[in-house]
Amino acid sequence: KAGVTQTPRYLIKTRGQQVTLSCSPISGHRSVSWYQQTPGQGLQFLFEYFSETQRNKGNFPGRFSGRQFSNSRSEMNVSTLELGDSALYLCASSLEGSSNQPQHFGDGTRLSIL
Amino acid sequence: TQLLEQSPQFLSIQEGENLTVYCNSSSVFSSLQWYRQEPGEGPVLLVTVVTGGEVKKLKRLTFQFGDARKDSSLHITAAQPGDTGLYLCAGPVRGGSYIPTFGRGTSLIVHP
C-alpha cells in the first residue's frame, strides 16, 4: 500500500513569490492535514481538509491556503513568501480524521526562501 | 507557551543505556500519541495511549499515560543506534475532529 506522497521534496523560492505544494494521501483516506515544522516552533497545525472542505484551521495568516480535490489529493498554497516561511511542510492523512485513527505522514517538502 | 512540554530537549547516550523522555501538560488529554521522526522523513506513529495509567510496550519501548491524563513518558531499554531520532508527543485539542498539538520533541542520539 503506497504511503503519503508529497511533491516536490525540495523547493527554493525568493521573497514575494508564491508556492504550491502537493500531497497524495493513502488510498481510501479522506482526511488530509498540513503542518509546518521549524526548529524554533516545532510542528504546527495549518489546516485539515475532509471531503473537499476545510474542516479545521490553525493560527496562520491568510497567505496560507489549501484545497482538496474529489480524489482526496490536496494542495497547499503560500503567497507572498517571507523568509520566515522557510520550513519543512508535512502532510498527513487518515481515514476520517478522528482521534482514534492514526495519522500517516509524508516525508515533507523542504521549502527554503532566499 | 507550548501546550505539551517535552523533556529533555536533547539526549545523547551510548548504545545499551536506558533512557526516559517526558511529555507534560497542564491540560487533560483524551489521548496522547508518540511519534518518531528520522532525519529527512515524516513522523511515524509509535503508539496511542487513551486510558489514565495505561502502559503499552513496543519491544524495548514502554509508554505510560499518567493517571490524570496530563502527562506521558517513553522509556527505552538498552537503546540502539536505530533508536536515534526525534521523539514527539501529540494530543488532540478539540473534541471533534482529531487536530493534534505537538510537543517540540526530544532529539535522541544513540552512539554505537
Task: Please name the member of B2, B30, B102 whose beta carbon is closest to the beta carbon of A99.
Answer: B30
Which residue in chain B has the smallest CA separation from A38? Answer: B104
Whether A55 and chain B come into contact, CB under 8 Å, resolves to: yes
| Residue contacts between A and B (CB atoms, under 8 Å) | 62
Do residues B32 and B25 make contact, with C-beta atoms less than 8 angstroms apart?
no
Best A45, A50, A99, A107 residue to mutate vs chain B (most B CBs within 10 Å) = A99
* Cα gap B44→A104, rounded to integer Å: 7
CA distances from B97 to A65, A104, B49, B81, B91 (A): 19, 16, 17, 36, 12
Task: Please name the member of B31, B45, B103 whose beta carbon is closest to the beta carbon of A103.
Answer: B45
Question: For residue B81, is the peptide bond before it cis, meaning its omega torsion is within 30 degrees of 0?
Answer: no
Q: Do B99 and A56 touch (CB under 8 A)?
A: yes
Taking only the tens place, the pLDDT of each residue in A46-69 is 999 999 999 888 889 999 999 999
Structure confidence at residue A100 (pLDDT) = 65
Does the pLDDT at position B95 exceed 60? no
Structure confidence at residue B98 (pLDDT) = 61
Whether B38 and chain A come into contact, CB under 8 Å, resolves to: no
Structure confidence at residue B93 (pLDDT) = 74
Do residues B11 and A79 make contact, with C-beta atoms less than 8 angstroms apart?
no
* Cα gap A89→A78, rounded to integer Å: 11
Whether A68 and chain B come into contact, CB under 8 Å, resolves to: no
Phi, psi of A53 (to 5 degrees): -120, 140
Average pLDDT, chain B: 92
Task: Please name the member of A100, A102, A106 whose beta carbon is closest to the beta carbon of B42.
Answer: A106
Whether A101 and chain B come into contact, CB under 8 Å, resolves to: yes
The residue assigned the cell 499518567 is: B66
Rg (CA), chain B: 13
Lowest average pLDDT, out of A39-48, A67-76, B54-63, B87-96, goes to B87-96
| More confident call, A8 vs A40 | A8
Taking only the tens place, the pLDDT of each residue in A79-98 is 999 999 999 999 999 988 77
Report residue A11's pLDDT band, with 50, 70 and 90 as the boundaries: very high
| More confident call, A46 vs B96 | A46
Do residues B38 and B88 make contact, with C-beta atoms less than 8 angstroms apart?
no
The residue assigned the cell 544513540 is: B110
| More confident call, B97 vs A31 | A31
Task: Please name the member of B45, B97, B102 whose beta carbon is closest to the beta carbon of A42.
Answer: B102
Taking only the tens place, the pLDDT of each residue in B21-62 is 999 998 888 889 999 999 989 999 999 999 999 999 999 999
Report residue B100's pLDDT band, with 50, 70 and 90 as the boundaries: confident
Cβ neighbour number for residue A15 with a 10 Å cutoff: 11
Cell of B62: 514502554
Do residues A86 and A80 make contact, with C-beta atoms less than 8 angstroms apart?
no
